[in-house]
A and B are shown apart, each in its own frame.
Chain A
Amino acid sequence: MTQPVANCPNCGAKIVFRWSSSVQTVCEFCKSILVRTDVDLKKVGQVADLPPDSSPIQINSEGKYGNKAFVVVGRILYEYDQGGWNEWHVMMNDGTSAWLSDAQSEYALSLASKAPNLPAAAQVHVGQQFTWSNQRYTVSVITPAHYRGMEGELPFQYWDKTDVTFVDLRTESRKFATLDYSDPEPALYLGEFVEFDDLKLKNLRSFEGW
C-alpha cells in the first residue's frame, strides 16, 4: 500500500501516513493536530507536550501478537485520579488497527468490536455482567479519565475531549473488555492481557541504567 504524503498546513513539514485509513495525526515539528479530509489536511488543534512517562514503548516499536506482526504508529495518553496509562495505536501487518495498552507495565491488546445494545454510561455498575462473543464479562472498575496527550496516527478524530468514562470488564481468563464513552455512542473493545515477553517488542525506549 502506498503511503500518502502531504504537507503540514501549519508549518509545511512533510507528513507521512503509514496507515492509509488514518484519520488523524500529529505534526512532529509544530505539534498541530491534523485531520485528513478527502482533499487535504486540516489543522484542528494543538497538542501539549507529553508528560514524562514510564512506558517502554515508543512510536515505531515493533512487536508480535499471536502470529501477526505489528508496528506502533500512534498513542493516546490518559490520566485519572490514581495515575495514567497509554493506549498505543498499532498497525497489524494485515492492515487492521488494534490498541496496545500499557498501564504500569501491564500490557493488553484489544480490538474495536461491534455489539448490539451497549449500555449508556449511567446504566453501568460494578458487578454487572455482559456476554459478548460467547464470553461472560463482569464490570470490575469504572474510571473517569481524561486524555492528557497524543502523538502519531489515530484511526479516528480525537481531540479536545473532556472527562470520559472507561468501564473495565474482566473474565476468569486473560480476556477483558473496555467500554469507551469518549463519543456519544459507546465503543466496545475486546481484548486480552499479554505478557511483555510474548509481544517480542523491538525498538523500545532505552532507560538510563538499564
Chain B
Amino acid sequence: MSAGAPPLSGPPKPQAKGLNCPKCGAAITLHSFGQAVTVVCGSCHSILDAKDPNLAILQQFEAAIREVKPLIPLGTRGKLRGTDYEVIGFQRRSTVVEGITYYWHEYVLFNPYKGIRYLSEYNGHWNDISICKTLPTTEFGGAAIANYLGETYKHFQSADANTDFVLGEFPWQVRVGEQAAVTDYVHPPRVLSSEKLDKEVTWSIGEYMYGREIWEAFKLPGDPPEATGVYENQPSPVTINVTGIWLAFAAFTVFLLALMAGFDMRAKKEPVLHQTYQYNRADSKGESSFVTDVFELTGHPSTVEVKTFAPLSNHWMYLNYALINQDTGQAWDFGREVSYYSGYDSDGSWTEGKQNDAVVIPSVPAGHYYLRVEPEADPSLPNISYTVDVTHDVPVFGIYGIAFLALLVPVVIISFRAYTFERSRWSESDHPPMELSSFSTSSGDDE
C-alpha cells in the first residue's frame, strides 16, 4: 500500500449529490456527504429519505403558514469557533404558553470534519448549540437544577416544542407536527436543554450569541433583527458579582473611617485666638471695624476655623471677617451671620437660628495673621459681647461625607441595574419573580 493514495477498496469520493424530488421533479442537492437523514423538497414541501437513492417520500406537509424565509439563507457559510460551517437545514418551531404562541427558528450547520451544530434564534437572541457528549445530571427538590461539566444550571422553563416548518437537510427523522418536551436550564451565557422525543432524550448545550456576531460570522447584508426583552441565557451587561462589589464598598468604608480617625488624631486643633469683644450701637456711627492681635500659624498649609458666639435673643448680628497675612498681604474675606429667635405660638415654643457659627478657611499657609472684623447688628440691639475663637488645623468631616457618597452611589446604581436585568430575565420563565407591589395571595413562583 503506498502511503497517501486512497485505497481501491475505499468508498466513492464524497461530493454533493444532485437528485430530483420524486414528487415534483425539482432538483435537490445534498450537501452533507451522507450525514443527513432527511431532506426537504422546498418546492412541494415533501420530507424525503436522504439515505435512499430514490429519496422516498416520508411526509408531505402543508405550508399552511406563509413561507418562512430563514434569516441566514441555506447554503451560506460562516465561521464559528474558528471553523467554517454551511447552513444546510432550517426549521420553525413553536410553543404555546398560556394561550400565546411563541415562534423561534433553528438552523442546522454542517462541516464535513467537525460534524453538525445548530443555531437558534428567538426575538433577535441567538444561541450556538451542540449536542452534549457527556451526560448532565439533574437534581430535583426545591429548585430543579442540572449539572454539566462542573457548572450548575437552574431550571428555567419546560414546554412542548412543535415543528411547524422545515427546509433543507436534517440529521434526524424530522416531521412537521412532531412535538418534543423541551426543558431548559440556564447558567448565563449558557443554556442546557433536554429534548425528549418518542422516549429518546437528547441533551444539548448552547451559548448565547449577539445578532451582530452572527451577521459578521456569515457576512450577511443589512442589520440583524433587534433583540427584544431579556433572553433566558443572555449574559447580563452588568457582568459583576454584586456581593463582591458591596464587599469592596465595605472595605473602602473601613478605609475611610481609618482615614478619618487618623487625620483626626493628627490634627493639631490648636487654638490661636480666643477673645471676647463688645459691640455697642453707639460706636457704629464711626468706624466699627477693628483688628485682632496677631497670631502665628505654623507648619504646612491647613485649615483655620473661625467660630463666633453671641448670646443673642431675637436679634441678629453680622460680622464681616478678613483673615490677613501680616507679611504677604494675602487675605481671606468672608461674612458670617449669627441670629437666634425664639417664642411661643399655638404649637408650643419654637426657636430659629443659632447663637454660634463656625466657618473653615481652606489651605492657609504658615505665617503671622490677624483678623480684621467689621461687626453689624440688628438696629434694635443696643450692645452685645461676642466671642471669636480661631483654631488652627481642624479636620473637615464634610470631605468624608462626600467621599462616602461617591463610593456608595455607583454600587447602588450597578446593583439596581443587575437586579432589574435579572428580574426581566426570570419574568419570562416558569419561575417569575414575585410582584413587588402585589397584594394577592398567590406567590409568583410556580412548582
A and B in direct contact, judged by CB atoms within 8 A: yes
Given A28-B1, A172-B134, A205-B14, decide whether A54 and B9 contact each other with a Cβ distance below 8 A: no
On whether the beta carbons of A52 and B12 are closer than 8 Å, the reply is yes
Tell me how many residues of A have a C-beta within 8 Å of chain B. Answer: 42
- Residues of chain B from 85 to 137 with CB closer than 8 A to chain A in the complex: 111-116, 131, 133-135, 137
Given A83-B37, A172-B135, decide whether A106 and B115 contact each other with a Cβ distance below 8 A: yes
The chain B residue sitting closest to A138, CB to CB, is: B135
Stretch at the interface among A55-63, A115-123, A154-162, A181-189: A55-63
Given A54-B14, A105-B113, decide whether A26 and B9 contact each other with a Cβ distance below 8 A: yes
On whether the beta carbons of B134 and A52 are closer than 8 Å, the reply is no
Complex contacts, A59 vs chain B, CB 8 Å: 1, 6-7, 10
The chain A residue sitting closest to B200, CB to CB, is: A141
Q: How far is the CA of A123 from the CA of B137 in the complex (A)?
A: 25
Main secondary structure of the interface of B (DSSP, over half): loop
On whether the beta carbons of A60 and B113 are closer than 8 Å, the reply is no
On whether the beta carbons of A205 and B6 are closer than 8 Å, the reply is yes
Q: How far is the CA of A28 from the CA of B5 in the complex (A)?
A: 12
Q: How far is the CB of A30 from chain B (nearest CB, A)?
A: 9
On whether the beta carbons of B8 and A209 are closer than 8 Å, the reply is no
Taking a contact as CB atoms closer than 8 A, the residue among A56, A83, A209 that contacts B16 in the complex is A209
A87 within 8 Å of B by Cβ? no
Q: How far is the CA of A147 from the CA of B284 in the complex (A)?
A: 120
Given A54-B33, A172-B137, decide whether A28 and B4 contact each other with a Cβ distance below 8 A: no
Q: How far is the CA of A84 from the CA of B7 in the complex (A)?
A: 21
Residue of A152, A205, A210 with highest tally of chain B CB at under 10 A? A210
Q: Mark B1-37, 1 if CB is under 8 A from A, else 0.
A: 1011011111111111000000000000000111101
B311 within 8 Å of A by Cβ? no
On whether the beta carbons of B7 and A205 are closer than 8 Å, the reply is no
Complex contacts, B131 vs chain A, CB 8 Å: 106
The chain A residue sitting closest to B148, CB to CB, is: A172
Count of chain A to chain B residue pairs whose CB atoms are closer than 8 Å in the complex: 102
Taking a contact as CB atoms closer than 8 A, the residue among A52, A173, A174 that contacts B34 in the complex is A52
Complex contacts, A28 vs chain B, CB 8 Å: 1, 7-9
Taking a contact as CB atoms closer than 8 A, the residue among B9, B11, B84 that contacts A31 in the complex is B9
Complex contacts, A173 vs chain B, CB 8 Å: 134
Complex contacts, A53 vs chain B, CB 8 Å: 11, 34
Q: How far is the CA of A105 from the CA of B134 in the complex (A)?
A: 15
Taking a contact as CB atoms closer than 8 A, the residue among B112, B116, B147 that contacts A56 in the complex is B112
- Residues of chain B from 53 to 104 with CB closer than 8 A to chain A in the complex: 84
Complex contacts, A151 vs chain B, CB 8 Å: 7, 9-10
Q: Mark A92-132, 1 if CB is under 8 A from B, else 0.
A: 00000000000011100000000000000000000000000
Interface range for B: 35 or more
Q: How far is the CA of A75 from the CA of B34 in the complex (A)?
A: 18
Q: How far is the CA of A63 from the CA of B11 in the complex (A)?
A: 21
Given A170-B134, A171-B134, decide whether A210 and B10 contact each other with a Cβ distance below 8 A: no
Complex contacts, B51 vs chain A, CB 8 Å: 83
B211 within 8 Å of A by Cβ? no
The chain B residue sitting closest to A208, CB to CB, is: B15
On whether the beta carbons of B7 and A54 are closer than 8 Å, the reply is no
B171 within 8 Å of A by Cβ? yes
On whether the beta carbons of B4 and A208 are closer than 8 Å, the reply is no
Complex contacts, B173 vs chain A, CB 8 Å: 82
Q: How far is the CA of A173 from the CA of B132 in the complex (A)?
A: 11
The chain B residue sitting closest to A16, CB to CB, is: B1
On whether the beta carbons of A105 and B8 are closer than 8 Å, the reply is no
Given A105-B116, A208-B15, A209-B16, decide whether A58 and B135 contact each other with a Cβ distance below 8 A: no
On whether the beta carbons of B133 and A193 are closer than 8 Å, the reply is yes
Given A152-B7, A203-B4, decide whether A54 and B113 contact each other with a Cβ distance below 8 A: no
The chain A residue sitting closest to B115, CB to CB, is: A105
Complex contacts, B84 vs chain A, CB 8 Å: 210
- Residues of chain A from 37 to 83 with CB closer than 8 A to chain B in the complex: 47, 49-54, 56, 58-60, 82-83
Q: How far is the CB of A79 from chain B (nearest CB, A)?
A: 10
Complex contacts, B35 vs chain A, CB 8 Å: 54, 104-105
On whether the beta carbons of A56 and B113 are closer than 8 Å, the reply is yes
On whether the beta carbons of A196 and B113 are closer than 8 Å, the reply is yes
Q: How far is the CA of A58 from the CA of B84 in the complex (A)?
A: 21
Complex contacts, A172 vs chain B, CB 8 Å: 134-135, 137, 147
Given A52-B11, A52-B12, decide whether A207 and B33 contact each other with a Cβ distance below 8 A: yes
Q: How far is the CB of A15 from chain B (nearest CB, A)?
A: 9
Taking a contact as CB atoms closer than 8 A, the residue among A82, A83, A104, A208 that contacts B115 in the complex is A104
Complex contacts, A165 vs chain B, CB 8 Å: none
Q: How far is the CA of A173 from the CA of B222 in the complex (A)?
A: 42
Complex contacts, A51 vs chain B, CB 8 Å: 11
Taking a contact as CB atoms closer than 8 A, the residue among B13, B114, B115, B137 that contacts A205 in the complex is B13
The chain A residue sitting closest to B110, CB to CB, is: A105
- Residues of chain A from 20 to 36 with CB closer than 8 A to chain B in the complex: 26, 28-29, 31
Q: How far is the CB of B186 from chain A (nearest CB, A)?
A: 20
Given A31-B9, A151-B9, decide whether A60 and B3 contact each other with a Cβ distance below 8 A: yes
A10 within 8 Å of B by Cβ? no
Complex contacts, A49 vs chain B, CB 8 Å: 11
On whether the beta carbons of B10 and A50 are closer than 8 Å, the reply is yes
On whether the beta carbons of B1 and A204 are closer than 8 Å, the reply is no
The chain A residue sitting closest to B5, CB to CB, is: A60
Complex contacts, B113 vs chain A, CB 8 Å: 56, 105, 196, 201, 204
Give 19 A-B contacts (CB < 8 Å), ordered by A residue.
A29-B8, A50-B10, A52-B14, A54-B32, A54-B34, A82-B37, A83-B37, A104-B171, A105-B114, A138-B135, A140-B135, A172-B147, A193-B134, A196-B113, A196-B115, A203-B3, A205-B14, A207-B112, A210-B112
